[in-house]
Amino acid sequence: MGVKRVKPSTNLETMGVKRVKPAKNLETMGVKRVKPSKNFETIGVKLVKPSKNFESMGVKRVKPSMNFESVGVNCVKPSMNFESVGVKLVKLSKNFESVGVQRVKPSKNLEIMGVKLVKPSMNFESVRVKLVKHSN
């Protein structure tokens, strides 16, 4: 996939990258508000086991205790990297659900995907989500 830029009306379903701040409205970014304790089962999110290789989906590093969206994702290895999908860095203590999530370090800016800094208590949603790239 290797998406680098996305238009404000682009559907990131394939990238499944969505980050929302608790109690924050990201409508300007094309994403919907999501609470940090929301159940993603309604959007087809399933837990993944730490033993599947998603290299075919461009998945690389990810924690085996994260939630992944079932958009072609089954399980993830505890040492993969999702940079191929266009996602930058994020803390490992967050919930990832999608095929375009990439393991990132704290204090990193996801400007590439139109998201700001990520806090260690945010949830990542990715189904039928839209994201807008920050225009510098």
**What's the pLDDT tens digit per position in 4-17?**
444 443 444 344 44
Q: How far is CA 30 from CA 16, 23, 58, in A?
A: 13, 16, 24
Which pLDDT score is estimated for 10?
42
The CA-based angle 35-121-110, given to 5 degrees, is 95
Which pLDDT score is estimated for 133?
33
SS3 69: strand
The CA-based angle 71-111-65, given to 5 degrees, is 40
Average pLDDT (68-96) is 36
Which pLDDT score is estimated for 4?
43
Instruction: Kindly report the pTM of this predicted structure.
Output: 0.12
Backbone CA torsion sign across 61, 63, 66, 70: positive
Gap between the Cα atoms of 83 and 112, Å rounded: 11
